[in-house]
């Protein structure tokens, strides 16, 4: 069966510090991978998605970036965090049937 | 382009009462539709999905939803609410390419 991991589970970072969140999927090959953010009261915002290694689509302009160095690994990064980057970050995967399966999330607080 | 509207950011029911969460969509292609549930500080869990075929689909935890093309709706129901159903619920539509469009979510509150 497929599983998806995210780490860390929680993170407190000062403004201006770098960020690296990691997501890995097990039990499937060549999945589509997604990064979402949930800010308080604002629903789900799609940040990036990837249909293959090295292929990244950005949905919104921001100071975040994503990379997919391996088939089942998806990384969300920032060089300098802003207060507005605080939120709950969710990674998800999908294959041909289009439903997405979500990881447990990372709670990021920028102070 | 796809869009999803969930009527009511909060819905309150009593334990044992009918749950009805509303979802309307717009789509330029025959839609694939989904309902997800999210408990506090957790990821989203797929409740049920409609792709093709039977328009009444059953999901986990006793939930079901009916696809009504003429009304462009995909409302989520459960005959009898349980305290453990308290969570946020998201409706989503697929663009049949790579992404889902999510509604803004409905928080279900269940009182004893």
The tens place of each residue's pLDDT in chain A, 111 residues long, gives 889 999 999 999 999 999 999 999 999 999 999 999 998 777 899 999 999 998 999 888 679 999 999 999 999 999 999 999 999 999 999 987 678 999 999 999 999
- In angstroms, what separates the C-alpha of A86 from chain B's closest C-alpha? 14
Residue A104 has what pLDDT?
A: 97
Residues of B in contact with A90 (CB under 8 A): 43-44
pLDDT given at position B109: 97
Report the Cα–Cα distance between both ends of chain B, in Å, rounded: 41
Q: Do B99 and A97 touch (CB under 8 A)?
A: no
What residues of chain B lie within 8 A of the CB of A23, using their CB? Answer: none
b/e B16-52 (16+ beta carbons within 10 angstroms → b): eeebebbbbbebeeebbbbbbbbeeeebbebbbbbee
Q: Which is it for strands A64-70 and B10-14: parallel, antiparallel or unpaired? A: unpaired
Predicted pLDDT at B87: 97
pLDDT at position A61: 67
Q: Under an 8 A CB cutoff, do B90 and A51 touch?
A: no
- Does residue B99 register a pLDDT over 90? no
pLDDT of residue A98: 79
User: In A, what residues contact B, Cβ < 8 A?
Assistant: 32, 34, 42-44, 46, 49, 51, 57, 59, 88, 90, 92, 94, 97-105, 107
């Amino acid at each position: 069966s497929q599983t998806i991991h995210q780490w860390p589970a929680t993170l407190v970072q000062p403004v201006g510090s770098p960020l690296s969140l990691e997501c890995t999927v097990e039990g499937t090959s060549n999945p589509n991978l997604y990064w979402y953010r949930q800010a308080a009261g604002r629903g789900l915002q799609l940040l990036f998605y990837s249909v293959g290694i090295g292929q990244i689509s950005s949905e919104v302009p921001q100071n975040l970036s994503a990379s997919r160095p391996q088939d089942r690994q998806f990384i969300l990064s920032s060089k300098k965090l802003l207060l507005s980057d605080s939120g709950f970050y969710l990674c998800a995967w999908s294959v041909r049937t289009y439903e997405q399966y979500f990881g447990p999330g990372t709670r990021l607080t920028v102070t | 382009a796809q869009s999803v509207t969930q009527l009511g950011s909060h819905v309150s029911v009593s334990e044992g009462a009918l749950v009805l969460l509303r979802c309307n969509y717009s789509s330029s292609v025959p839609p694939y539709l989904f309902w997800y549930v999210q408990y506090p500080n957790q990821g989203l869990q797929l409740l049920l999905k409609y792709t093709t075929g039977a328009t009444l689909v059953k999901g986990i935890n006793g939930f079901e939803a009916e696809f009504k093309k003429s009304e462009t709706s995909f409302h989520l129901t459960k005959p009898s609410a349980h305290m453990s159903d308290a969570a946020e619920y998201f409706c989503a539509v697929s663009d049949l390419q790579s992404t889902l469009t999510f509604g803004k979510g409905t928080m279900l509150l269940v009182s004893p």
